[in-house]
Structure 1
Amino acid sequence: MDSQLVCSEIIAKSGIAFGTSGARGLVKDFTPEVNAAFALAFISAIENEFSFDTVAIAIDNRPSSYAIAQACAGVLKQHKLNVVYYGVIPTPALAYKAMQDNMPCIMVTGSHIPFDRNGLKFYRPDGEITKADEQAILASKAIFAALPEHLNELPLDVSACESYTLRYTSLFNADTLKGKKIGIYEHSSAGRDIYKVLFEKLGAEVISLGRSDEFVPIDTEAVSDEDKQRALDWSNEYSFDAIFSTDGDGDRPLIADENGNWLRGDILGLLCSQLLKIEALATPVSCNTAIEKSANFKQVKRTKIGSPYVIAEFAELADQYTSVAGFEANGGYLLGSDVTFNGKVLKALPTRDALLPALVLLAQPKQVSELLIELPQRFTASDRIKDFAKEKSLKLIHSFKNDTSHFLGSLGYEEGYSVNSTDGLRITLDCGDVVHLRPSGNAPELRCYTESSSEQSATKLVINALNFISNY
């Protein structure tokens, strides 16, 4: 083979690294060779475990995503694999279809990060790759030939979109959302051409909002002030029962109640889990303690942040309980076992999904705000400092862990506390307030999560913590 290229060597020089959810990096670093190296390394990491001859690929709406998909497809075809291209669809739609057809898949997406960055998510035929798979990808010695300058166009297959839609139209009755008026904040979401049709099939009156031809980096854990105001304005103008949106690749939901107030993702996950009658949960340490305080679950397993860590707990929980699920602070819901709902069996989908928690919540006769009032009243807030190098974050966290008094004193605390270092530095005060610092796994950012007895105090706490750090 001419111009033989070794996957691990190409990847090591690329500047692209695995974070909490896939490989992420700057668009300029996703060259055709790098894309090909990651795709082939992924296949070489799993080919001894599974038998397959086809790999599925889908993308988000980023300007760079299609070319990345072309390069991935090019190297796979070079190695005698068939490729099916599902176009722009949500990540869970791709994962669901691939799992049903017992084939691996690659999602080209940077999720919520800015459009000058992109990423790759990899799925084995049985679901998301593990941390061990990530290491195998990075170490792969598979070789390939340089790709041609002009790559082939990818013929579109719409069956994944149809399969994902059917998953939910078959679960709910056609009049489930009858009488409800729902806004869909479409922006540049990969699922924007699915959601309106699906909600209308379930009986809702739907109004499309905020569709954009430019990529919009929606972060469901750090909703912008502009998007907070948009929801309030839209709710006031249209008298919605709810507003639904997602991040860029449609695996993290964003729901606003009838008053235009966005729900926290972990609160949405808690409500969905209650309504699905889930027995055991796996959820990251950053999620709201209302989960335990609700006393709805036989076991709650706390993990590091990232869907691979949540999924890693499912097998053990499934040995003990009949229904298992997980969710993250970003709202992405992971169904770890088959469950029965509405008298029908819903198949497991152990990857983040935005539609399930949204539909389960909106299918209830009560308004969203009424469901919220019934929960233990614990409130969380989160924000981030951008362009904050990971090394700087780790150094700061190490410093605070050794001497927390100065940091806490600046926030007005003089009481006792405990420290949890499962993922970053999580400080729980004797009064119940929480401050949690950790570097982002996907971008050069320092994230801060807080919890308190009111929304105002949680928000004030996150602002004060990040102000202190900015001037530290």
Structure 2
Amino acid sequence: MNKQVKVLSEELGVAFGTSGVRGLVKDLTPELCFAFVASFLQGVCSGSKRVAVGLDLRPSSPDIAKACIAAIEKSGAEAVYCGVIPTPALAFYAMQHQMPAVMITGSHIPFDRNGIKFYRPDGEISKADEAAIMDGFVTLPDASPDTLLPSVNTDAMTTFEDRYKALFLSDMLAGKKVGVYEHSSVARDVIKRLLAHFGAQVVSLERTDTFVPIDTEAVSPEDVAKGLAWSQEHQLDAIISTDGDGDRPLIANEKGEWLRGDILGVLCADYLKASHVAAPVNVNTVLELRGKLQGLERKTLRTKIGSPYVIAGMETLLKQTPDARLVGYEANGGFLVGSDFEVNGQTLHALPTRDSVLPALILLAMAHEKHCPISELTSDYPARYTASDRIQNIPTQTSKQLIAELRNSKTKQAELLSVIAEEGEVLEVVSMDETDGLRMTLNSGDIVHLRPSGNAPELRCYVEVSSENGTDDMLRKVLRNY
């Protein structure tokens, strides 16, 4: 049966989100997964002889992988099955061997959902590639694929580990005690091996066989409490964790306080002496403020939210300045390397997809080189603080309608600002940015940003204020208004 992917996906309510295909597990049928991969190989990576495949630890991932491998084999290519592996490890291996890749993961979203990420031989697919996949017509098998998972190729994980071992001093973590919040992260074992390689005493924290959806951009109150308790109990110098597929880091300092991903991005850009940075519109304005205060000649480009947009922004910057020392990052902490860098006399090769391991190691290396705890690395940063949260189970169309009303109605803006304002304070919107959702800068200098999630039926809220204690209060007030 010949069918267009768009038609099949609309029937099942599955679509591309901010990064990759996302949907309920029950809707990610073998036929649909087969169709997505078949169309990817037809319309984006035609003629491929080998395709790397990896998956996360979600219970639904193996069956989705079987359908994807069936599509690869039907196309005449060989499936290089890399097993359970971090997304950046699979992507890096595929890029090094000039082959496309398919990663089965739902990242941080709940376990009743899952997804598929696609990579060309040169990196993550673009929004134009997503459209080509959706527009493709594929011949579906008469019966559900009955494919067994091949034996695991371990070269991808070894290549990923070797990428980092030569970059930093082998004893940089000697005498340090680092906790690894393992949960169900696919990166938990490689992180522990690397920390031990650099001399750390590694403390394993809360490993589980049950999938745990960790959102590194909106850390739960439970995880906030865990970080503080673990640090005190074990006297840790840092805590390292990631989301489910290991492309977003979650890092706590020696006090057990989780760092915001957009501050981590600035730290990494500083360490690598990046000349150009692409980052989404929702990341902390410290990115620009620090450059001005330090007199740094750094060009920045703000994009829509989602790694494909950050990658497109990096490509734009690289076209303008071919010799740029280029990076990108997101508010969730995912860090992208857009060009080769020299680090401690070694070459760090480009990896234009989100990574969680590099930013964690950079942070530990900075603390080692500066002879200070992690909490002091940002002591000279401007006082700007961000936080984010979400209202779950709100239809995307409802979110869009709420945002449109807020954009177009002074009355709606006044209603929201009256909820936010302190006693006697008069707030007003002085500027709006509609790059992605609605980002409002207030006369107080505070920022409120609302947008529909691209991965789930959620209304995302981001705030930026000048008081460290004001972020959570601001978030509560904004979300209570809806």
1:397 equivalent to 2:403? Answer yes
The 5 Å alignment of 1:274-289 reads 274-289=270-285
> Which residue of the partner structure matches residue 338 of structure 1?
340
The 5 Å alignment of 1:175-214 reads 175-214=171-210
| Cα distance in structure 2, aligned partners of 1:372 and 1:195 | 24
Aligned partners of 2:81 and 2:153 also within 8 Å: yes
> Which residue of the partner structure matches residue 86 of structure 2?
90
> Which residue of the partner structure matches residue 392 of structure 2?
386
> Which residue of the partner structure matches residue 35 of structure 2?
37
Cα shift at 1:12:
3.2
- Pick one of 360, 381, 384 that aligns with 1:375: 381
- Pick one of 68, 85, 89 that aligns with 2:64: 68
1:101 equivalent to 2:97? Answer yes
Cα shift at 1:374:
2.0
- Pick one of 282, 288, 296 that aligns with 1:292: 288
> Which residue of the partner structure matches residue 13 of structure 1?
11
2:339 partner SS: coil
Aligned partners of 1:379 and 1:453 also within 8 Å: yes
Aligned partners of 2:463 and 2:475 also within 8 Å: yes
Cα shift at 1:75:
1.7
Q: Residues 418 and 135 of structure 1: is their aligned pair in 2 closer, same or farther, counting only changes over 3 Å?
A: same
Cα shift at 1:345:
1.2
The 5 Å alignment of 1:433-444 reads 433-444=446-457
Q: Which letter does structure 1 place at the counterpart of 2:434? A: S
Partner deviation per Cα, 1:199-235 (whole Å, 9 max, x = no partner)? 1011111111110110000000111111111111110
Q: Which letter does structure 2 place at the counterpart of 1:445? A: E
Cα shift at 1:6:
4.8
| Cα distance in structure 1, aligned partners of 2:43 and 2:76 | 16
| Cα distance in structure 2, aligned partners of 1:367 and 1:432 | 30
Partner deviation per Cα, 1:316-348 (whole Å, 9 max, x = no partner)? 322425201010000000111111111211000
> Which residue of the partner structure matches residue 310 of structure 1?
310
Q: Which letter does structure 2 place at the counterpart of 1:305? A: I
Q: Which letter does structure 1 place at the counterpart of 2:106? A: G
Q: Which letter does structure 2 place at the counterpart of 1:408? A: L
> Which residue of the partner structure matches residue 433 of structure 2?
420
> Which residue of the partner structure matches residue 451 of structure 1?
464
Aligned partners of 1:11 and 1:37 also within 8 Å: no
Cα shift at 1:384:
0.5
| Cα distance in structure 2, aligned partners of 1:357 and 1:222 | 18
Cα shift at 1:4:
4.8
Q: Residues 258 and 461 of structure 1: is their aligned pair in 2 closer, same or farther, counting only changes over 3 Å?
A: same
Q: Which letter does structure 1 place at the counterpart of 2:165? A: T
Cα shift at 1:52:
2.5
- State the superposition RMSD in angstroms: 1.3
> Which residue of the partner structure matches residue 127 of structure 1?
123
| Cα distance in structure 2, aligned partners of 1:162 and 1:423 | 38
1:168 equivalent to 2:164? Answer yes
Deviates more, 1:249-258 or 1:177-186: 177-186
Q: Which letter does structure 2 place at the counterpart of 1:235? A: S
| Cα distance in structure 2, aligned partners of 1:129 and 1:411 | 40
| Cα distance in structure 1, aligned partners of 2:297 and 2:211 | 39
The 5 Å alignment of 1:229-378 reads 229-295=225-291, 296-318=296-318, 319-320=320-321, 321-364=323-366, 365=368, 366-378=372-384
* Number of residue-to-residue matches in the alignment: 465
Aligned partners of 2:178 and 2:237 also within 8 Å: yes
2:137 partner SS: coil
> Which residue of the partner structure matches residue 406 of structure 1?
415
2:256 partner SS: coil
Q: Residues 149 and 70 of structure 1: is their aligned pair in 2 closer, same or farther, counting only changes over 3 Å?
A: closer
| Cα distance in structure 1, aligned partners of 2:23 and 2:93 | 27
| Cα distance in structure 1, aligned partners of 2:354 and 2:87 | 8
Aligned partners of 1:88 and 1:191 also within 8 Å: no
* Structure 2: tracts of 5 or more residues without a match: none
Q: Which letter does structure 1 place at the counterpart of 2:427? A: E
| Cα distance in structure 2, aligned partners of 1:354 and 1:149 | 34
Cα shift at 1:73:
0.3
1:13 partner SS: helix
Partner deviation per Cα, 1:114-141 (whole Å, 9 max, x = no partner)? 0000000000001111000001100101
Aligned partners of 1:74 and 1:147 also within 8 Å: no
Runs of 4+ with deviation above 4 angstroms: 3-6
| Cα distance in structure 2, aligned partners of 1:274 and 1:113 | 31
Cα shift at 1:145:
2.1
1:431 partner SS: coil
2:82 partner SS: strand
Q: Residues 310 and 6 of structure 1: is their aligned pair in 2 closer, same or farther, counting only changes over 3 Å?
A: closer
Cα shift at 1:44:
1.2
> Which residue of the partner structure matches residue 155 of structure 1?
151
Cα shift at 1:432:
1.1
Cα shift at 1:361:
0.8
Q: Which letter does structure 2 place at the counterpart of 1:298? A: R
Cα shift at 1:58:
0.2
> Which residue of the partner structure matches residue 462 of structure 1?
475
| Cα distance in structure 2, aligned partners of 1:14 and 1:75 | 19
Q: Which letter does structure 2 place at the counterpart of 1:314? A: M
Q: Which letter does structure 1 place at the counterpart of 2:469? A: Q
| Cα distance in structure 1, aligned partners of 2:328 and 2:314 | 8
| Cα distance in structure 2, aligned partners of 1:226 and 1:297 | 40
Q: Which letter does structure 2 place at the counterpart of 1:340? A: E
| Cα distance in structure 1, aligned partners of 2:297 and 2:310 | 16
Q: Residues 6 and 449 of structure 1: is their aligned pair in 2 closer, same or farther, counting only changes over 3 Å?
A: closer
Partner deviation per Cα, 1:233-273 (whole Å, 9 max, x = no partner)? 11001111100000000000000000000000000111111
